[in-house]
Structure formats: C-alpha cells, structure tokens
C-alpha cells in the first residue's frame, strides 16, 4: 500500500492530538506531535534561564540541544539530550513560552530540519500549526481542524484538570492569547493551507472526525 504523509493543523484545543493519534493508529502510521518540539525548546530555555528575546543565546541553544522522539509502550516520548521531558513540557507556563519561542526564526529554522528529517520516510501523521503550509507543502492529505472557542477552552480545561490549578476562565484567556500569538506572527502563522480540508469538530465525536478523515484518505491510497 502507498505510504502517505498526512498533516493536521489547527488551533489549541481543536482536538488535533486525540484525532491525530487515533488516525495514525487506524493507518498503522507514526504520529508526530510537532508542538512537543517547540515545547522542548521552551523547556530548555526555562531550564537554562535563557531570555527568549536573546537571539544569540537561542541560536547557541539550538546548536546544542538534541531533541528526538522515541516510541515507548505508552506512546511517543520526547527526549532532550537523553532525558525524557514528555511530562514537564505540558504545563501552562511552557505552553505560553513555546508560543513565544515559536515566533523566532532561529527556532523555526532549527525545527524545520528536525521535522523534515522525521517526515522523509512518510507513513506518518504530523500534527502542528504550519505542517501543510510550510513544513510539508507537498503532503498527500492536509487537514485543518477547528472547533468553537468555547468547546476548545473546555477540552483544554478537562485535559489540564489534574495537572494545573487554572480555572476554566484562565484556560480560555491563555488559549485566546496563544491563538493570537500563533496566528498573527509573521513567520509561519497558523492558517489553513489553500488545499487543506477543513473540519469543524464542534459537536463531533473523535470517531466521527477520524472516519471523516479516513474517507478523504482512502481516495489517495
């Protein structure tokens, strides 16, 4: 069977992670969460006390760190210089810092190479913000997943509940700020590719969204 490269872009809380993972499972493909890579850089920025506005320090950091995914029983884990950082990158503070460092060209250039390298073998579902527009403009099938802001805030809140003390209101505010940062930055802003299939997941179950995506993918297989 043909090996495809599938991209899923969209704002925070649209359901990208759950859907991408389920879709990759159904196809027997690798699932790559590119937001984790930006979070990985943010984590190292914080750990080393680097000012994210200091471009020289950011550049040095990008030359120094080795970020990579490894497949474990519980799914894909992110490692930085051999240390599993999959859990500590999921805090609200790292979310906001990831959004800030992702606007820097030094960071985007570094991660562009990392992502394209992983994508070479195809047979993968890549989740992110600029997968269909910048990283893989030649992807076989591109999706743009969205949902109402109320639904997205509620999903993010439920996801974070055990890991953060933020109220629903605070989660909604953080999300709005991050959406604005991510979609108004000059470099690779969050937006659907011209040839992306748009899906609004408000009120749809994960299974429904995955089935819908598979119906488009089957035409390409």
Q: Which residues bind ligand DC (CB under 6 A)?
A: 12, 34-35, 38-39, 98-99, 102, 128-131, 178, 182
The DSSP bridge partners found for residue 68 are 79
Cβ(143)–Cβ(24) under 8 Å? no
* Tally of CA atoms within 13 A in the half-sphere of 7 that contains its CB: 28
The pair phi, psi for residue 52, each rounded to 5°, is: -60, -15
Select 117 or 211, whichever has its Cβ closest to ligand DC. Answer: 117
Select 28 or 55, whichever has its Cβ closest to ligand DC. Answer: 55
Select 79 or 215, whichever has its Cβ closest to ligand DC. Answer: 79
Query: Which string of DSSP letters, residue by residue, matches 48-112?
Result: TT--TT-HHHHHHHHHH--EEEEEETTEEEEEETTEE-TTGGGSHHHHHHHHHHTT-HHHHHHHH
* C-beta atoms surrounding 190 within 10 Å: 22
Select 90 or 122, whichever has its Cβ closest to ligand DC. Answer: 90
Min CB(63)–ligand DC separation in Å: 20
Select 146 or 182, whichever has its Cβ closest to ligand DC. Answer: 182
Select 101 or 210, whichever has its Cβ closest to ligand DC. Answer: 101
How far apart CA 7 and CA 124 sit, in angstroms, is: 8
How far apart CA 176 and CA 198 sit, in angstroms, is: 20
Min CB(130)–ligand DC separation in Å: 5
Min CB(3)–ligand DC separation in Å: 21
The pair phi, psi for residue 33, each rounded to 5°, is: -95, 100
Min CB(112)–ligand DC separation in Å: 10
Min CB(220)–ligand DC separation in Å: 22
* Tally of CA atoms within 13 A in the half-sphere of 79 that contains its CB: 11
Min CB(30)–ligand DC separation in Å: 16
């Amino acid at each position: 069977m043909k090996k495809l490269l599938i991209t899923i872009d969209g704002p925070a809380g649209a359901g990208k992670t759950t859907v991408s993972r389920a879709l990759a499972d159904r196809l027997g493909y690798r699932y790559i969460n590119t937001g984790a890579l930006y979070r990985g850089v943010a984590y190292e920025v914080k750990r080393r006390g680097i000012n994210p506005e200091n471009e020289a320090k950011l550049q040095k950091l990008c030359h120094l760190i080795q970020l990579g995914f490894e497949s474990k029983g519980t799914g894909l884990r992110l490692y930085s210089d051999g240390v599993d950082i999959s859990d500590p990158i999921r805090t609200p503070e790292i979310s906001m810092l990831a959004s800030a460092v992702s606007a820097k060209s030094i960071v985007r250039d570094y991660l562009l190479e990392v992502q394209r390298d992983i994508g070479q073998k195809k047979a993968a579902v890549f989740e992110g913000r600029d997968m269909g527009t910048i990283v893989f403009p030649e992807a076989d099938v591109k999706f743009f997943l969205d949902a109402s802001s109320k639904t997205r805030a509620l999903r993010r809140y439920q996801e974070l509940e055990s890991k953060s003390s933020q109220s629903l209101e605070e989660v909604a505010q953080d999300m709005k700020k991050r959406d604005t940062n991510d979609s108004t930055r000059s470099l690779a802003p969050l937006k659907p590719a011209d040839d992306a299939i748009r899906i609004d997941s408000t009120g749809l179950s994960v299974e429904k969204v995955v089935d819908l995506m598979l119906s488009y993918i089957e035409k390409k297989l």
